């Protein structure tokens, strides 16, 4: 019952302020740089300014995030991260579902992403299919995935 109460106070929304974005970047630093050992110079990039960011928060604490970058013919999902204590509770799925809904609202017909290999099943459950061979990105095995909306 404790977990149910914990989940009831979660808000999933599009980032709309500088403070929200700073909180998202702090969570990404925690997950990607501190936990996964990704080079800080690779984690933040020029796409952060153009991307649509989504976050999940409990109270004022950001517990998950992701972003989508829209090009002419598709959207690219990236930087999906969930705080360690919130994993395996469906929050990452809700972040991705919000991103997919935003893409759909913008009449985007295709989404792509570069999944860490151990997250392939997670994305398959959201309708993504692998496309291509495994490659190294920031020292971690990834594979391209695509979904048609």
Model confidence pLDDT, tens digit, residues 95-138:
999 999 999 999 999 999 999 999 999 999 999 999 999 999 99
Non-local (6+) Cβ contacts of 138 within 8 A are: 36, 38, 39, 42
- The answer as to whether 137 is a domain residue is no
Non-local (6+) Cβ contacts of 3 within 8 A are: 89
Which tokens is 54 given? Answer: 């989504």
pLDDT, tens digit, 9 for 90 and up, residues 14-34: 999 999 999 999 999 999 999
- Please give the Cα distance from 93 to 90 (Å, whole number): 5
Supply the pTM of this predicted model: 0.91
- The answer as to whether 82 is a domain residue is yes
Range of the domain at 99: 2-108
- The answer as to whether 128 is a domain residue is no
- The answer as to whether 17 is a domain residue is yes
CATH of the domain at 98: 3.40.630.30
- The answer as to whether 140 is a domain residue is no
- The answer as to whether 149 is a domain residue is no
Non-local (6+) Cβ contacts of 60 within 8 A are: none
Using an 8 Å Cβ cutoff, are 62 and 23 in contact?
yes
**Count: domains in the chain:** 1
- The answer as to whether 28 is a domain residue is yes
Q: Which of 84, 55, 81, 59 is nearest to 7 (CA)?
A: 59
- The answer as to whether 129 is a domain residue is no
């Amino acid at each position: 019952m404790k977990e149910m109460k914990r989940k009831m106070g979660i808000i999933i929304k599009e980032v709309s302020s500088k403070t929200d974005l700073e909180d998202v970047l702090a969570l990404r630093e925690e997950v990607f740089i501190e936990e996964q050992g990704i080079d800080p110079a690779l984690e933040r990039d020029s796409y952060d300014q153009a991307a649509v960011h989504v976050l999940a928060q409990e109270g004022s604490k950001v517990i998950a995030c992701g972003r989508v970058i829209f090009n002419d013919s598709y959207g690219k999902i990236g930087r999906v991260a969930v705080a360690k204590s919130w994993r395996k509770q469906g929050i990452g799925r809700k972040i991705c579902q919000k991103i997919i809904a935003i893409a759909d609202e913008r009449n985007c017909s295709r989404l792509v992403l570069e999944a860490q290999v151990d997250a392939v099943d997670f994305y398959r459950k959201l309708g993504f299919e692998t496309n291509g061979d495994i490659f190294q990105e920031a020292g971690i095995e990834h594979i391209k995935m695509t979904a048609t909306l």
